[in-house]
Amino acid sequence: MVTKETTFEDIERFFPLTDAVFKELGMGHVGTQQAYFDTVGESAIAHGFDPQYVVDAINKVYQNKY
């Protein structure tokens, strides 16, 4: 389960199906070395989103897959 404190390093390693969520939200730097150590919460705020909204969108992908 992804939280606001989950880093993009962990996202790439454990939650690879979330790329579509980030692209849909326009969070294009996700997956770059610059963002590697950012958290989901930090990146959400930087892009003008409520962190919990982004976390919920990511976790919804995995609820539908498993």
Output the pLDDT for position 63: 84
How crowded is the C-beta side of 38, counted as CA atoms within 13 Å? 17
What are the CA-CA distances from residue 57 to residues 33, 34, 49 (Å)? 23, 22, 12
pLDDT at residue 29, rounded to an integer: 62
User: In degrees to the nearest 10, what's the CA dihedral of 54, 65, 9, 55?
Assistant: 20
**62 vs 28, which has greater pLDDT?**
62
Average pLDDT of the chain to the nearest whole number: 86
Q: Which two tokens stand for residue 47?
A: 């892009």
- Average of per-residue pLDDT across 38-45: 92
SS3 for 7? Answer: strand
With 60 as the cut, is the pLDDT of residue 16 above it?
yes
**Structure confidence at residue 49 (pLDDT):** 95
66 has pLDDT over 60: no
